[in-house]
Amino acid sequence: MSSNTGKSSKEPIFKTNWCDIPAEIKLKCIRKLEFKERWSLRDTAKAERSLVDSQKIKFSSGYLMSNNYSCLSVTLVSENGNIAFSEYLKNEKNVFKLLKFIWKVGIFENLKISRGYIIFDDVHDSDDLFTENAELLSYTEKSTAKNIDLEALNKENVIFILQKLENGVETIKLGRKLNGPLDDIISNSHIQNARYWHIQKLRDRTDLIFKIAQMWIDKNAEIGSTFQVCFDYYKTRSEFAKHFSDRIVSVTHERVRIRTNSPDRHILLEHGIIDHCHISQNFRLMVISAEMKESEYEKNCEKWIYYLNSVPYKEGDSDAESDYYYDDY
């Protein structure tokens, strides 16, 4: 088919055409289009763009990854498991155009946003995909994601993204690049309401655990609310017990259990210790039922520790990781 915008001699000229269809029927047709075709249709004319933008589209997963050169790798997986869209964009204008469109129409079961294919902290804090772009900063649309993984994003970007999410985020996974006081992270409503959240690695922010426990006490968080973190600092458990000394229910070598203001729920801090690993200290904080017996504690901490220390996402191994993460919390 000719790529010219003029009429092709091969294609029939229909008596009735797309432009004769009422908007509500066009919307029905647009809902049948895959993401790629919607992305193309919105480039045909302003009127079509406005229609396309009004229709949400569900994805089982979305992976948005950028590197240091304003490039963006996008993979969107539709609800039936097929790849709905997979592109590597280099042009900055196109990158932001696509990002904004995805953000506006996407409803994600799982959304992962990463600053490049990194394994360790090899990306500088100044590499801000979102917060250095004025056009994106002023963008007010909100996206919907049930489980979000913000790997290797610094605090400013994490907050920026969380602020642009609709309510209903259930799990939040944060990576290794969070530094400084995290009060603005803890005060974020998605963090406060998440069923599960974790920070993959954090240096010397023991008070974070206290603050999260206090936040849960203050807001009477749901039983099952869970936070996990990996610290370099091993005294967290004893300092937690000291900090909440007036609320102590029990203290053991591996766990500290405290009362909340609600008689039906307690908060349990667990120190996950693996024989062969002494470098990192893994902690899990949970709101539990006050009725829970010590015999009901999860004996094997490796399962939850594994998740904190798992290798960051690489294309091709996402399924194994997400299966564990999202099914278990």
Q: Site residues (CB under 8 A) for other proteins?
A: 1-8, 11-22, 25, 28-34, 36-37, 40-41, 43-48
> Cβ contacts of residue 13 below 8 Å, gap of 6+?
7
In angstroms, give the least distance from the CB of 295 to other proteins: 50
The answer to whether the CB of 152 falls within 8 A of the CB of 103 is no
Task: Give the strand order in the sheet containing 144-151.
Answer: 83-89, 72-78, 57-66, 106-114, 144-151, 171-174, 196-202, 226-231, 277-289, 265-274, 255-259, 248-251
Tokens linked to 120 = 């360790």
Nearer to other proteins, 18 or 306 (CB): 18
In angstroms, give the least distance from the CB of 102 to other proteins: 17
Of the pair 83, 274, the CB lying nearest other proteins is at 83
178 in Cβ contact with 199 (< 8 Å): yes
| Interatomic CA distance for residues 71 and 98, integer angstroms | 12
**Residue ranges with strand state E in 209-254:** 226-231, 248-251
Shortest Cβ 82–other proteins spacing (Å): 13
| CB-CB contact of 270 with 283 (8 Å) | yes
Sequence-ordered strand ranges (E) for 218-316: 226-231, 248-251, 255-259, 265-274, 277-289
Alpha helices in 83-225 (DSSP H): 92-105, 134-137, 155-163, 183-186, 189-193, 207-219
Residue with Cβ nearer other proteins (46 or 278): 46
Kindly give the pairing relationship between strand 265-274 and strand 226-231.
unpaired
Of the pair 44, 252, the CB lying nearest other proteins is at 44
Between 22 and 263, CB nearer to other proteins: 22
Residue given tokens 């490796």 in the structure block: 302
Minimum CB separation from other proteins for residue 63, in Å?
Answer: 22
Q: Please state the closest distance from residue 66 (CB atom) to other proteins, in A.
A: 24
Query: Least distance from C-beta 104 to other proteins, angstroms?
Result: 18
2 or 220: CB nearest other proteins: 2
Smallest separation (angstroms) from other proteins to the CB of 14 = 5
Of the two residues 14 and 120, which places its CB atom closer to other proteins in the complex?
14
